[in-house]
Structure 1
Amino acid sequence: MRVAVQELHDSLQSLLDALKQEESEDCEAKSGGIMPLMEVIPAATFASLPIEIASRVDIAVGTVKELAEMCEFKVGGRSGSETSAADGGIAVEMETVKVLERV
């Protein structure tokens, strides 16, 4: 996601540079070559949304990682009581049946 935001930022920067060049050329040809503000606002709003979303997602990911560390979740893998799907998962199913019988 950061790569996409960086690409968007680079594209916007190159667009800004192109607009500045075009504006300077237009200003030489005629006076008042400034782009109307009402044309810029929608583009700027649209461009800022993905950047804001990416920053919020990064914050959420960091918070989830912190919560996982606090709860001492294991990353990937399985605990010792579970078996893999290749073993048929019978041990896990039997444990579930035993727990239900106790209740």
Structure 2
Amino acid sequence: MGIFNSWGSVNVPLEVMVRIARNRTSEVIKTFGPNWFSRREELNADLLDTVLGGRGFWTPAADEARSDERWRAWLGTYRDALIRAGFGYPVQLSVVDAPLPTVPQ
């Protein structure tokens, strides 16, 4: 199992993910903020190449008008990379800031 968080290990090379996926019982949890990819598409394209498997596997999402549309485009690109790495069931989870429900006493 691998746990990679957005405080320094989002940029795990795809080749590492491939090695993890070779073990069929492996799982990976990876967290990152919605703008991680967008901030790098112009500033550090080489890093995106490493994470996504090469320039042929991603295109800038800057053409998308809204930030949530750019996020969905990058999420789809990353899910495709995980499938190419060998993970058969990539699942997206969103963490939202919401109040906890009250429990009747």
Higher Rg: 1
Q: Same fold, TM exceeding 0.5?
A: no
Normalised by the length of structure 1, the TM-score is: 0.24
Q: With CA pairs under 8 Å and 6+ residues apart, which has the higher RCO, 1 or 2?
A: 2
* Structure number with higher strand proportion: 2
